[in-house]
A and B are shown apart, each in its own frame.
Chain A
């Protein structure tokens, strides 16, 4: 049988839990702004795209552009380099397997991030064991398609979103 005291206790327990839950939500809501303020601010997020004139990059040359404060590699590949990239599509030492076709829109233009996927250094052009890029910090070797082939980096140099506005201009981001 439910007594008057039981009812009071039950109501009190409910009040304890409700108060505690409300307090926890309030504390979380108060802490969240303190954490979220460290995330990229709106003006940083607004710097989302750049347009690049690629007509100045001769065949067999690379250029580096800054996009969102990070380097972007654009390489005008030679026919030999394209052939080499495709020939390596099924190489056994691909750490993060991808075909060259998955990484490009036009075979002669390789557009990708210039940030090593290991710890963020900038790999050096036309160096390393695979004739692509070599990161001096911890020795990661990338091939002519920007795929990681040897060293501690876990993944290929990422390809970001970009579109060809015309034959000589691309928009990154």
Chain B
């Protein structure tokens, strides 16, 4: 959205700077009063800012933790305990960083589902959506490598299992056979593996920053969507980002920080796994390997398919399919507020995703309701996951009878005010 008002400093010094490097105008137009946004954004629109906040928190705490952590398999585990016990405020920094990863995923998952519900992936925001998926993939890689660094049992065996995913590609000529050894730098997860994961864990967040800048740039071309999903028709539909949404985001941030603080100060190890407080032992696989919670639905999909290669393909496919959403969904209306049937299937999709997460952390042989195994349920849930994208979305979006859409954002807002 082009800025409606140009940034013109009155202070001569600021003007002198602005004439030579228009950086203040850039900020003003990006997140200031120069950026005009639909007037009807609700709290679901806070989560992009919260994700940006978590990225900064992770980078800042990560940089200082790197001043104490040692990526050497003989002392890596101890160095994390040293941070937690001996380093000044190490207990806080480590808790913020470890729980921060989970918080980052919480807000990003809500941000993604916000996009699902309000049709944010639809034209003209397809590239914005792609960049978001790339951000998510980088987050998964970064989070995985970060989890390996404390060199506990789950770190080691999680790393072993996940790097072995790539052994499923051993049919590829020339590179297939040596691919996993190339990742490891040896014949098993070992010192070279830890060292390179540390290097990449430090690097990838900065790649992430780059993609986030592209994501925000792509956002500013069409501007934000809104809960009604209708296009902005004129200035009466918009308000300046500052002070309106800076204030709204600040309030949301405050609420979020309270939630975050509960984990940091009261249950810092709640999201961790007890086995990861045992140092890595390459001769003893834990009885039950589970990944961090934010990977669980995909882990359940992987285990649902009894074939190694197809399991891997399904797992990667479950994320890659997001790239096709702008075309799988053929509805002319973005927001599910006016698409009742789509809304119904969306909420089933959400519950199904949570259920897959639950299935990912229990044993596939566990018996659940009706005497069926967790594996059977995982297969049903995996089927719905893919059917949602490949059957439900293409058909329902093109066939359902939608509700009447308001003529403009301003009209809808003023109507609501009258009724209210």
Contact = CB atoms under 8 A, between A and B. Distances in A.
Contacts of A137: 157, 161, 285, 289
Interface string B355-373: 0000000001100000000
Contacts of A23: none
Nearest to B375: A139
Given A38-B185, A121-B161, A153 B283 contact: no
Contacts of B115: none
Contact of A139 (B160, B163, B185, B364): B364
Interface in A107-136: 115, 118-122, 135-136
Contacts of A38: 182-183, 185, 192, 196
B283 A71 contact: yes
A12 interface: no
A60 interface: no
A70 interface: yes
B192 A154 contact: no
A169 to B, nearest CB: 22
A71 B165 CA distance: 19
A153 B185 contact: no
A69 B186 CA distance: 9
A152 B188 contact: no
B307 A119 contact: no
Contacts of B365: 139
Nearest to B287: A136
B187 A121 contact: no
Interface string B152-192: 00000100111111010000000000100111111110101
Interface in B298-333: 303, 306-309, 311
Given A68-B188, A70-B188, A39 B178 contact: yes
A66 interface: yes
B284 interface: yes
B314 to A, nearest CB: 12
Given A69-B282, A121-B160, A122-B283, A40 B186 contact: yes
Contacts of A139: 364-365
A151 B311 CA distance: 12
Contacts of A135: 285
A159 to B, nearest CB: 16
Interface-centre pick from A70, A115, A136, A152 (highest chain B CB count, 10 A): A152
Contact of B303 (A115, A121, A138): A138
Contacts of A122: 283-285
B419 interface: no
Contacts of B182: 38-39
B187 A68 contact: yes
Contacts of A165: none
- Chain A residues touching B, majority SS: loop
A67 to B, nearest CB: 9
A68 B306 CA distance: 30
B373 to A, nearest CB: 10
B288 A136 contact: yes
Given A38-B182, A69-B282, A119 B160 contact: yes
A41 interface: yes
A66 B161 CA distance: 19
Given A40-B185, A118-B308, A152-B308, A66 B282 contact: yes
A69 B282 CA distance: 8
A39 B181 contact: yes
B285 A41 contact: no
Contacts of B364: 138-139
A71 B284 CA distance: 10
A119 to B, nearest CB: 4
Contact of B192 (A41, A120, A136): A41
A81 to B, nearest CB: 23
B65 to A, nearest CB: 25
B305 to A, nearest CB: 8
Contacts of B309: 154
B185 A39 contact: yes
B181 to A, nearest CB: 6
A33 to B, nearest CB: 14
Contacts of B311: 152
Contacts of B307: 152, 154
Contacts of A153: 308
B308 A120 contact: no
A107 to B, nearest CB: 27
A136 B285 contact: yes
19 contacts: A38-B192, A39-B182, A40-B192, A41-B185, A44-B190, A68-B187, A115-B188, A118-B308, A119-B165, A119-B167, A120-B160, A120-B167, A135-B285, A137-B161, A137-B289, A138-B303, A139-B364, A139-B365, A154-B309
Interface of A: 38-41, 44, 64, 66, 68-71, 115, 118-122, 135-139, 151-154
Interface of B: 157, 160-165, 167, 178, 181-188, 190, 192, 196, 282-289, 303, 306-309, 311, 364-365
A-B residue pairs, 8 tightest by C-beta? A120-B164, A119-B164, A68-B187, A69-B188, A119-B161, A121-B285, A122-B285, A120-B160
Given A39-B178, A153-B308, 8 more contacts: A44-B187, A44-B190, A66-B283, A68-B186, A68-B188, A121-B157, A138-B364, A151-B306
